[in-house]
Amino acid sequence: MMLKKRFIIVTMFFWIIALPLSAHATEDIQWWHAMGGKLGEKVVELANGFNSSQSHYRVVPVYKGNYTETMTAGIAAFRSKRPPHILQVFEVGTATMMAARKAIRPIAEVMADAGEPFDAKQYIASISGYYTSKNGEMLSLPFNSSTPVLYYNKKAFKKAGLDPAKPPKTWQQVEVFAKKLIASGYECGFSSAWISWIHLENMSAWHNRAFATKANGFEGFDTRLLINGELGVKHLSKLKAWQDEKIFVYGGRRNLGNSKFISEICPMYTESSAGYAGFKAAADFDFGISELPYWSDVVETPQNTIIGGASLWVMAGHKNSEYKGVAKFLNYLSSPAIQADWHQSTGYLPITKNAYELTKSSGYYKKNPDMEVALQQMTRVEPSKNSRGLRFGNMVRIRDVIYNEIEGVLAGKRTVKKGLNNIVKNGNKLLRKFERINKSRSRK
Amino acid sequence: MDRQTLFKSSYLPYLLLAPQLLITLIFFIWPACSALLQSMMMEDPFGMESIYVGLDNFYLLFEDNEYIDALEITAIFSLLVCFFSLTLSLLFALLADRIIKGAVVYKTLLIWPYAVAPAVAGVLWLFLFNPTVGIFAYFMQWLGYDWNHHLNSGQALFLVVVAGVWKQISYNFLFFLAGLQAIPRSLIEAAAIDGAGAIRRFWTIILPLLSPTTFFLVVINIVYAFFDTFGIIHQVTGGGPDGATNILVYKVFHDGFLGLDLGSSAAQSVILMVIVGILTILQFRYVEREVHY
């Protein structure tokens, strides 16, 4: 009797505590991202904006380190059955995520289940195409997409007697310009970030050449690299030759070379359009942005460049009510005003047509014509089989192979042809491994 | 009266051993077994699909020129790190042992680097040697030498060896100094009276008497070069350029945790385990015979 009484008291006590909570029950939505520094602040701002726009859900952004660390953390969390709701995965991890269909939920499906309005056509095709499956289903939300562009130091151009309003359009011009810049006292002509992404992957798309068979992996796991073709040999040979004259200087992996542009050592620099915010903050000279140069003896007009950056994946294994919140949040992120602001402050591409139109009509591009370059370069023509992007499993490791071989070639340890052949040979092995694992999956 | 303590109960000794055994089982034996198991599987990163592939992961590794390069680089790197960290710290210990005034200051300064975490040390070296903004690179340029460890394999290897040695000198120094101070003065003085010079005294008295310390440090330093230099490599070169600093342990981490190729990573760690096991056995069988305790 006594026990029962105590039990009732205790239960009531918990009820009293829990009541006010359940009245305002907010559901937390975990968003794991890889945006540090200024971008990280912007991400928090986005989450706060959403949280104050409604009271039912609370998006909790968690910085998980760089792209690879974030992806590894997400996967580890999935394996221990505690995945976040939303995981930001860099473009390189896309094929891995796509192959893991049981671990993720396609955003088209999440939106439909939640009854949120969603029109895949609203997204810019050359961006969303990257994250769309073979049967046309949009799998993840292209949150931060960028594409490589040429940055150039206007002050240096003036010093070398070049017109700051006329950046080089072709690689032939880059060579001429670089020589003039060096003659005017600069140590180097140009350098580059992300050498694999910009000088191999994008160079193929930009000249409408295949990087690999099966539409660069979009049409199947049995894709094989083709990068040791004419264009690859030509471009890499030129880089090597230029390096000996300091027309080109290798700045290191990833975007380690950015300091070469900021400290005015190399007045021209190829880097992601998202490098804009960093350069804007750090460079104390005027710089311009121009389209990625192309070889005018290979194509008359270039195709389109391909994207980098990351997309947001919805992870499987959560409650339906929480997915409703996820859908609402993703819609919020895609809304024109938010996207336009994100685009203008970071240099990432606006992902929807409405956001692009909004930026245009606000007169932003009139004042900042450079900021339109990246998007124009992405959307100038319908993407071809060769320019939709790359979809490879084991892509992180394939990039390592590419970095190693390019460094070997640039250091003069092996010939261009040998280096490219090694990329194809070792890269194909990694592709076969991925195919082997995923074949067993599709059989089941 | 018998002073020996005997355990009356039969389970008590086991009970007392249990915590350590449990730790060994959970943190060493279990992971080692699962590595062995995983090395024979190919698995997708999410762990939803794994197929048994026998020894294919191992075959693929030995077919891969990058892995063969990594084996070679590990050997070169470990030898360089061990050799220089041991000789330099012995030199410092000998010098510090002779100092009378301000010995504490010297000793503290020499031990200091050991308190720096490997990752922090890595960042330090990274900034010093950064080809664009590093003070050392600037100095080299001023001397007319083109420093770019992002591209030059030799320079990159040099850099990680220097960083690795610098980090380990303090540890070795401590042990060598203690070893030196344990050598009876009378022996050295007797030799000096007999007319043995400083160099001769070093080779015939000090070095043999230091041999237990040296042997211990060789084992520790090899393990250090194989495993603990990871943080420095991760920060400074990330294994590049062209795999020039891609030592085995870094490749295990890189392929497994960044590349998400778990099968290959597990196979690599099994090979690494075998290599270090063999090295340790060899040292105890052959080198230890020369050691006089």
Return the CATH number at A71. Answer: 3.40.190.10
E strand residue ranges, A68-109: 86-90, 104-105
Which chain A residues touch B258 with a CB distance below 8 Å?
68, 72, 396
Average pLDDT over residues A238-245: 94
**H or E stretch including A329?**
helix A320-334
Are B227 and B251 contacting, i.e. CB atoms less than 8 angstroms apart? no
* B141/chain A closest Cα distance in angstroms: 12
Given this model, what pLDDT does residue A327 score? Answer: 95
Q: Which domain holds residue A63?
A: 25-146+308-361
Cβ–Cβ under 8 Å, residues B132 and A255: no
Beta strands of chain B (E only): which ranges? 41-43, 50-52
- Please answer whether residues A304 and A378 qualify as being in contact, where contact means their C-beta atoms are separated by less than 8 angstroms: yes
Q: Which pair of tokens denotes residue A110? A: 């999440």
CB contact under 8 A, A440 and B49: yes
- Identify the helix (H) or strand (E) that includes residue A428: helix A416-443
* CB-based contact, A320 to chain B, within 8 Å: no
| Residue that terminates a domain, selected from A318, A341, A361 | A361
- Do the Cβ atoms of B131 and B138 come closer than 8 Å? no
Residues of chain B neighbouring A412 (CB-CB closer than 8 A): none
Yes or no, beta carbons of A437 and B65 under 8 Å apart: no
- Tell me the C-alpha to C-alpha distance, in Å, between residue B23 and each of A308, B17, B26, B56, B220: 45, 10, 5, 32, 22
Domain B58-290 matching CATH 1.10.3720.10: the answer reads yes
Task: Give the distance, in angstroms, between the CA of residue A327 and the centroid of all CA atoms in the same chain.
Answer: 22
The answer to the question of residue A57 being in a domain is: yes
Instruction: Calculate how close chain A gets to B171, using CA atoms only, in Å.
Output: 32
A327 lies in the same domain as A274: no
Distance CA B173, CA A228 (A): 52
Nearest-neighbour CA in chain A from B60: distance (Å): 9
Q: Is A350 helix (H, G, I), strand (E, B) or coil?
A: coil
Kindly provide the ipTM of the predicted complex, given to two decimals. Answer: 0.82
- The Cα A184–Cα A175 span in angstroms is 14
Statement to judge: residues A154 and A206 lie in one domain: yes
For B60, which of A397, A403, A429 is closest by C-beta distance?
A: A429
**Band of pLDDT at residue A294, cut at 50, 70 and 90:** very high
Tell me what pLDDT residue A4 has.
64
Inform me whether the pLDDT recorded for A20 exceeds 50.
no
Cα B115 to Cα B93, B120, B176, distances in angstroms? 18, 10, 18
Rounded mean pLDDT, A192-202 = 95
Number of A–B residue contacts, CB under 8 Å? 107
Closest CB from B131, B152, B258 relative to A411 = B152
CB contact under 8 A, A79 and B65: no
Contact B125, B232 (CB under 8 A): yes
Indicate if A282 and A419 belong to the same structural domain: yes
- Specify whether A215 is located in the same domain as A197: yes
Q: Residue A108's Cα: distance from chain center in Å? A: 20
**0.95 exceeded by pTM:** no
Cα–Cα distance list, B274 to A33, B52, B137, B224, B271 (Å): 38, 22, 39, 16, 5
Residues of chain A contacting residue B133, judged by C-beta atoms under 8 Å apart? 259, 263
Give the residue carrying structure tokens 């086991």: B14
pLDDT band for B11, please (50, 70, 90 cuts): confident
Same domain, A104 and A247: no
- What pLDDT is recorded for position B106? 86
Q: List all residues 6 or more positions away from A439 whose beta carbon is below 8 Å from its beta carbon.
A: A221
Question: What pLDDT is recorded for position A444?
Answer: 44
Q: Which two tokens stand for residue A278?
A: 């960093």
- Residue contact A75–B257, C-beta within 8 A: no
Confidence check: pLDDT of B2 > 60: no
Q: Is A209's pLDDT higher than 90?
A: yes
Q: B140 falls in which pLDDT band (50, 70, 90)?
A: confident
Mean of all residue pLDDT scores within chain A: 90
Which of B42, B132, B255 is facing A437, going by the closest CB pair?
B42
Residue in A closest to B65 by C-alpha: A426
Angstrom distance (rounded) from CA A272 to CA A374: 9
Q: What is the mean pLDDT of residues B282-292?
A: 76
Residues A284, A400 within the same domain:
yes
Radius of gyration of chain A (CA): 24
How far is Cα B222 from Cα A225, in angstroms, rounded to an integer? 40
Closest CA to A252 of B147, B134, B150, B243: B150
CA A301 vs CA A152, A216, A293: distances in Å: 21, 21, 11
Name the region of A384 (left: φ>0; alpha: ψ -120 to 50; beta: rest).
beta
Pair B155, A250: CB distance under 8 Å: no
| Average of per-residue pLDDT across A93-97 | 92
Is residue A72 within 8 Å of B260, Cβ to Cβ? yes
Q: pLDDT band at residue B271, thresholds of 50, 70 and 90? A: very high
Nearest chain B residue (CA) to A430: B261
Q: Of A413, A441, A434, A67, whose CA–CA distance to A225 is shortest?
A: A434
Are β-strands B50-52 and B41-43 bridged in parallel, bridged antiparallel, or unpaired? antiparallel
CB atoms under 10 Å from CB of B22, counted, come to 10
Together in a domain, A68 and A117 = yes
Shortest Cα distance, chain B CAs vs residue A382, angstroms: 33
DSSP state for residue A135 in the 8-state scheme? T
Whether the CB-CB separation of B208 and B277 falls below 8 Å is answered with no
Span of A43-52, A201-210, B82-91, B105-114 with lowest mean pLDDT: B105-114
Closest residue to A397, CB basis, from B65, B152, B259: B259
DSSP B38: H
3-state SS, residue B117: coil
CA–CA distance, A358 with A362 (Å, rounded to integer): 6
Judged by CB atoms closer than 8 Å, whether chains meet at B48 and A396 is answered as no
Residue type for B124, please?
A: L
pLDDT given at position A443: 47
With both helix axes pointing from N to C terminus, report the angle between A395-410 and A416-443 in degrees, rounded to the nearest 10: 170
**Same domain for A284 and A169:** yes
* C-beta atoms surrounding A177 within 10 Å: 24
Q: CA-to-CA distance for A351 and A357, rounded, in angstroms?
A: 11
Find all residues with CB under 8 Å of B4, minimum gap 6, and list them.
Answer: none
A117 and A215 part of one domain: no
| Domain annotation covers residue A383 | no
For residue A367, is it within any domain?
Answer: no
Interface contact A251-B150, CB threshold 8 A:
yes
Say yes or no for a CB contact (<8 Å) between A441 and B49. Answer: yes
* Rounded alpha-carbon distances, angstroms, from residue A442 to A438, B40, B45, B152: 6, 21, 16, 44
Evaluate whether residue A15 is within a structural domain: no
Give Cα A138 distance to the centre of its chain. 16
Query: What is the distance between the alpha carbons of residues A349 and A289, in angstroms, rounded to a whole number?
Result: 14
Say if residue A212 is exposed, middle or buried (CB neighbours under 10 Å; 0-12, 13-18, 19+).
buried
How many CB atoms neighbour CB A331 within 10 A?
A: 17
Percent helix, strand, coil in chain B, to 5, is 75, 0, 25
Place of tokens 């880097």: A271
A72 and A171 belong to one structural domain: no
Q: How far apart are CA B258 and CA A75, in angstroms?
A: 11
Pick the residue from chain A with its C-alpha nearest to B149.
A252
What average pLDDT score do residues B142-161 get? 90
- Judge: B132–A75 Cβ closer than 8 Å, yes or no: no
Pick from A323, A326, A351, A324: nearest CA to A336: A351
- Sorting pLDDT into bands at 50, 70 and 90, what band is A195? very high
Q: Residue A385 domain-assigned?
A: no
Residue A176 belongs to some domain of the structure:
yes
State whether B240 and A253 contact (CB < 8 Å).
yes
Res. B285 pLDDT band, cuts 50 70 90: confident
The mean per-residue pLDDT over the stretch A183-194 comes to 94
Rounded-to-integer distance, Cα A321 and Cα A56, Å:
10
CA–CA separation, A289 vs B277, rounded Å? 56
Count the domains in chain A.
2
Residue A252 lies inside a defined structural domain of this protein: yes
Q: Tell whether A225 and A272 lie within a shared domain.
A: yes
Bridge partners (DSSP) of residue A27 are A57
Question: Which residues in chain B are closer than 8 Å to A396, comparing Cβ atoms?
Answer: 258-260
Chain A closest CA to B244's CA: distance in Å?
Answer: 9
| Burial of residue A301, with CB atoms counted within 10 A of its CB: 0-12 exposed, 13-18 middle, 19 or more buried | exposed
Q: What is the DSSP string of B61-106?
A: HHH-HHHHHHHHHHHHHHHHHHHHHHHHHHHHHHHHHH--TTHHHH
Which of B242, B251, B252, B264 to substitute to test the interface with A, most A CBs within 10 Å?
Answer: B242
Closest partner residue to B44 (CB to CB) among A71, A100, A430 is A100
A159, A227: one domain: yes
Note the pLDDT tens digit of each residue in A26-63. 899 999 999 988 889 999 999 999 999 999 999 999 99
Nearest-by-Cβ selection for B241 from A96, A407, A440: A407
Computed over every residue of chain B, the mean pLDDT equals 88
Write out chain A residues lying below 8 Å of B54, CB-based.
none
Domain limits, chain B: 58-290
Residues in chain A closer than 8 A to B131 (CB atoms): 252
Name the least confident of A36-40, A139-143, B193-197, B289-293. Answer: B289-293
Task: Please give the average per-residue pLDDT across B17-40, as a whole number.
Answer: 93
Rounded distance between C-alpha atoms, residue A281 and residue A258, angstroms: 13
